[in-house]
Amino acid sequence: MVFLDARARPSPRVARCHPMGRDGGDRHAPTTGILLVNAAEKQAWVTIPVAILVGAGVAWAGSQGTTADGVPVFAICCVMAFAVNWIAFVPAYLGRTERFYDLTGSITYLGTVALALALSGATDLRAILLGALVAVWAVRLGSFLFARIRREGGDARFESIKVSFPRFLMAWTLQGLWVLITLACALAAITSAAAPPLGGFAIVGAAVWVFGFSIEVIADRQKSRFRSDPANRRRFIQTGLWARSRHPNYFGEITLWVGIALIALPELRGWQHVTLVSPVFVYLLLTRVSGIPILEERAEARWGDDPAYRAYRDRTPSLLPRAWGQHFRSTRFRTL
């Protein structure tokens, strides 16, 4: 759901840096680990303002609708998306905890949509439909991820990040950007001054959303049930939807955001059409950055030498389920 996708965990073979010789090395010699940490922190200080600038660009493009005291409602919602995460970052950093990261993401979605509906005074069916669909998705995924982190006690993605002020702040800032961009076309439609009646786009979009949401929910439940069985501790899932796609949950998530964009499209005017980047952003992030590449790397590290896994990988598409697409071997998203 977020920039550092909670369903993508890093490979257990990733090395952990222990400065000052805590790994048993020379306590006085400079370590590669220290240099890598310093480079990562410098990158974080660059990434944070870039994320804010991207958010400002989206805010400008989408702010063609209603206003509150002369300020575009869309822009106010953009500020909120970042502000909620920056506020949550403070106690999270002080407590060196990531337990509420994904839950905060869901709260940001819910709060931002509620604010857009309230300030714009939107009462048309399209705005209400969009708000309801986003709320259902955010509550479902947020509660699912929060329950999992409570069960597992932590999130390996943040082991080295949460002790670094700039890197942890970057993670929270990127979550704000993730919320903003994925919500952009829905927010633009909700805050639009135009209110055309529901038509074909809304019907098709709602059907696409239901299809994608169903795929995501079923895939997550199948994997949770598989992982809860101790007999499957060192095994990979290849049943149910996972027999047709190596990442059916991501296919479902991308699909449901396409549905949101289709519902929103008739209300967009001028530069607001830029906000249709939302599903494209979700697709690129999950297939190129945060989701599939990390999971594919982890799978290769664990089962790359297993003939059964290689056979599964070769016969199963990476994203598009085999029932709806060509049966092909996809190495497009593998990042080793």
Q: Which residues neighbour 209 within 8 Å (Cβ) at sequence distance 6 or greater?
A: 133, 255, 256, 259, 260, 263
pLDDT at 33: 52
Q: Over the range 119-158, which residues count as b (16 or more CB within 10 Å of their CB) and which as e?
A: bbebebebbebbbebbeebbeebbebbbebbeeeeebebb
Is the pLDDT assigned to residue 335 strictly greater than 60? no
pLDDT at 7: 59
pLDDT per residue over 235-288, tens digit each?
A: 999 999 999 999 999 999 999 999 999 999 999 999 999 999 999 999 999 998
Domain boundaries, the chain: 33-195
Measured torsion, CA atoms of residues 202, 138, 80, 75, in degrees rounded to the nearest 10: -10
pTM of the model: 0.83
Counting every residue written for the chain, the total comes to: 336
Q: Which residue has the higher pLDDT, 329 or 232?
A: 232
Query: In sequence order, what DSSP letters do the residues of 179-217 get, joined into one string?
Result: HHHHHHHHHHHHT-S--PPP-HHHHHHHHHHHHHHHHHH
Look at residues 239, 250, 259 and name the one whose alpha carbon lies nearest to residue 320. Answer: 250
Q: Which residues neighbour 157 within 8 Å (Cβ) at sequence distance 6 or greater?
A: 4, 6, 8, 9, 10, 98
pLDDT at 8: 55
pLDDT per residue over 58-77, tens digit each?
A: 999 999 889 999 999 999 99
CA distances from 282 to 42, 258, 293, 298 (A): 26, 9, 14, 21
Q: Mean of the pLDDT values across residues 10-18?
A: 37
pLDDT per residue over 108-166, tens digit each?
A: 999 999 999 999 998 899 999 999 999 999 999 889 888 888 887 777 778 888 999 99
Give the residue ranges of DSSP H helices in the chain. 32-62, 73-94, 101-120, 125-152, 165-190, 200-228, 248-264, 277-284, 292-303, 307-315
Tokens representing 197 are 């009646």
Look at residues 37, 6, 43, 50 and name the one whose alpha carbon lies nearest to residue 164. Answer: 37
Q: Quick check: 81 and 180 in contact, CB under 8 A?
A: yes
pLDDT per residue over 76-102, tens digit each?
A: 999 999 999 999 999 999 999 999 999
